[in-house]
Amino acid sequence: VSVQEYPSRKVIYYNREPYSMSGLSVDDLALMPVEERHKLVHPDDMPGMQKYAASIALLSDKDVAIYEYRVKSKLKDWIWLRVRSRVFERDEKGTVISFINIVHNVTAEKEAEEQLKENNELLQSIMDSSLSIIRVMEAIRDEHNEIIDFRYILANKKALSNYDADEKKGKLFSEVHPDLMKSEMFGNFKRVVETGNRTNFETCYGLEGSCVWFHVIAVKLRDGIVFSMEDITERKRRELNFAFLSE
């Protein structure tokens, strides 16, 4: 926590221990002019820091400005800080003359976000290497907790030539496939989420006589499903031909 004059940013008050825990010298920071303190900020974060500092003059008494940035610690490592600022004092004209800062060290949070991003990229790469179509959807429920739709949240790039997987992310199943809302496929997907039991079925998508056959495997994932689809049209045609010849 610190209180600083505005616009000089001279430190009037600070609490000591949290700064030390973050590997920063609070005494050094208190004596530094703002220009010297800015040298500790990561160059990529300085333009945002300058805009953030300028915005304090425009805050109302209830507004809270928030900014995240990197600074150098005593160990010369970059640590992430999240600062929240609010007007502390005004002069008789209403001009801001001091503000209070609450600073949190969010390095662990940022590292976790980066790890999650890397994990998601790894998962996407694994999915994209599959020869099957793979989709992840979350359930959409009504006020009675009944599943009425699904939303695409993840997809691999393996798809039909007229189907762009990236465009479907975030969209509802009913938007992408309105013709399938009353189909066996939709009913099977609902059943997987409701029972937790894996399902395995074959379905024909498209116009009768010229449809594409898929082998579908679906499993529950939290309140949603992961399903894979393999094009088995050639196999089904061979089976039909064998059945015709046998007959």
pLDDT in tens, the chain (247 residues): 889 999 998 888 888 765 665 566 667 766 777 788 888 899 999 999 999 999 999 999 999 999 999 988 776 688 899 999 999 999 999 999 999 999 998 988 988 888 877 877 777 777 666 667 888 899 999 999 999 999 988 877 755 444 555 567 788 989 888 888 888 889 999 999 999 999 999 888 776 667 788 889 999 999 999 898 888 888 888 888 888 888 8
The pLDDT assigned to 213 comes to: 85
The answer to whether the predicted template modeling score (pTM) of the entire model surpasses 0.75 is no
Coil, helix or strand at residue 212: strand
DSSP for 152-215, please give it: EEEE-S---TT--HHHHTT-BHHHH-GGGTTSHHHHHHHHHHHH---EEEEEEESSTTS-EEEE
- Tell me if 180 sits within 8 A of 203, measured CB to CB: no
